Amino acid sequence: MNSTDISEMFYKPLINGLLMAFKILWATNEFKSAVIGIPVSIITFKFVGSIFKWGRSNDIWFGSLGGKILYYLINTFLVWLVMKIV
């Protein structure tokens, strides 16, 4: 029994099963939102961080509550926009 046989026996059905599960889950809006929301959240976090960096260098202080509100508003809008496109 060589590695090709093992691949045919174990890995190929596993990959096909995971692919089928992904296709089934992709049909739900919650799963799409989670998959799309993770990279959008990272990008939004970097964007809001650059806004705060600019604000601190220009003596503008948003405050921690203002920053959280700004982050969540931008993140929610971007996820909604991407979900409308997809």
pLDDT at residue 1 in the model: 62
Closest by CA to 82, choosing from 45, 46, 52, 38, is 38
Q: Say yes or no to pLDDT of 24 above 90.
A: yes
Predicted confidence (pLDDT) per residue in 30-44, tens digit = 888 888 888 888 888
Cα distances (angstroms) measured from residue 72 to each of 23, 24, 41 = 29, 29, 9
Instruction: Quote the number of domains for the chain.
Output: 1
Q: Which residues contact 52 (CB under 8 A, 6 or more apart)?
A: 62, 67
End-to-end CA distance of the chain: 45
Q: Say yes or no to pLDDT of 5 above 90.
A: no
Show the domain range for 47: 3-85
Residue 22 confidence class, pLDDT cut points 50, 70, 90: very high
For all residues of the chain together, what is the average pLDDT? 83
Q: Which residues contact 25 (CB under 8 A, 6 or more apart)?
A: 31
